[in-house]
Amino acid sequence: MSYSEATVLQTSAPQTPVLQSPALNLSADSTQKVNYAKNDQNVITQLFAEQLPAVRTGFFNIYMSQGVVVSPHWHTNAAELVFLISGELQTSVFNPFTQQLMTYRLKPGQVSQFPLGWFHWLVALTDHTHLLTIFDVPTPDIVYAGDFLRTLPPEVAARAYCINPTSYAQTVAPMQKPVILGPPPGCAPATGAVQGASAQAGYPHAAAQSAASPGPMYPGTMPGVMPQSVMPQQGVAAAPYPPGSGWR
């Protein structure tokens, strides 16, 4: 039995106007469009529909040094897959069904999934950490927790959570603009420099910004990272962080 050309075209995948364009391009450089640069070692580049109109799964290309965090955020229109290329990475996501944090420690070649709308963040555990965050849409929407916190009226925080409005206002006052790779510029070290940090070659397309490194949250560890005694095993979901740990 033979099929006509018209039948073949009807049963093939839908052809969008982009794919039908005589000027169709199916290649792009994901390192050229800088989304954010904290300094030469901490840079986010992107490849979305703006850079490659035919793309269906856009992504961020992220380079991080030890102790740097992709600040807490969520996506209103996309699920996300984190793929670690080099270094070591800790991912954390809030499960709204169990009301627990799920934390994973990734090594190169491993992945972590963030469902649509789930609150999450990433911490680099080593220098030279390189990862892709891949989305199931051409361009994701992003809502940063810091933006919500700095625009929440202190009187609402007081009424909703019984928080001292003056203390709340003072706490969020330094958050004058979005923080994408934390800590923000000008953040003074708490107790010293990042433990075990080493020099790293600069990224060629970065526009450097000065920023201090924070001190460790736990004695003898890098900032914002749990000690090995409470760190979840590789690829295993963590129980909620202990009360008073600062990771709530």
Question: Mind giving me the DSSP string for 114-182?
Answer: E-TT--EEEEE-STTEEEEEEESSSS---EEHHHHHHHS-HHHHHHHH---HHHHHHHHTT--S--SEE
Q: Between 191 and 128, name the one with better pLDDT.
A: 128
Q: What percent of the chain has pLDDT over 90?
A: 61
Asked whether the beta carbons of 206 and 43 are under 8 A apart, the reply is yes
Domain ranges of the chain: 29-142
pTM given for the model? 0.70
Going by C-alpha positions, the residue among 29, 91, 85, 90 that lies closest to residue 62 is: 85
pLDDT for the residue numbered 15: 56
2 pLDDT band (50/70/90 cuts)?
low
Amino acid identity for residue 116 in this structure = L
- pLDDT tens, position by position, 29-69: 999 999 999 999 999 999 999 999 999 999 999 999 999 99
Asked whether the beta carbons of 79 and 59 are under 8 A apart, the reply is no
Q: Which of 87-91, 150-154, 209-213, 241-245 has the lowest mean pLDDT?
A: 209-213
**Tell me: domain 29-142, CATH 3.40.47.10, correct?**
no
- pLDDT tens, position by position, 86-131: 999 999 999 999 999 999 999 999 999 999 999 999 999 999 999 9
Structure tokens at 165: 């409005």
236 pLDDT band (50/70/90 cuts)?
very low
Residue 225 in this model has a pLDDT that exceeds 70? no
**Which element (helix H / strand E) includes 102?**
strand 100-106
**Which element (helix H / strand E) includes 8?**
helix 5-11
What does pLDDT average to over the chain?
A: 77
Residues near 8 by beta carbon (within 8 Å), at least 6 away in sequence: none
